[in-house]
Amino acid sequence: MVVISYKTIKDYIERHKSVSDQLNNWYTITEKSDWANFHEMKQLFNSVDAVGDDLYVFNIKGNEYRLIVRIFFRVRTVYIKFVGTHKEYDMLNLGDL
């Protein structure tokens, strides 16, 4: 998959080093993957949920953090839209992403 805006993850890791391993692991796996659909992605990331409008939410570090991405499977492209704590996620309006 092509992952757009790794800088979002990199910037977050600089401020929250405790989640570095988990986010870098997600990135490495995702970049090496070639998912055609949600089902294929779910086989690798059991904690991912589809929330509509091509948005997917990953639980990171035991659900302590959330990663939201927009995926266009047809062109194998993943756009990082949000990285934050579960509490920050709860305050988001997904329609704004």
Report in angstroms the alpha-carbon separations of 49 from 10, 24, 42, 56, 76: 23, 19, 8, 6, 18
Predicted TM-score of the model (pTM): 0.92
- In CATH, the number for domain 2-96 is 3.30.2310.20
Chain segment 48-68, per-residue pLDDT in tens: 999 999 999 999 999 899 999
**Above 90 in pLDDT, residue 97?**
no
What residue ranges do the domains of the chain occupy?
2-96
The residue count for the chain: 97
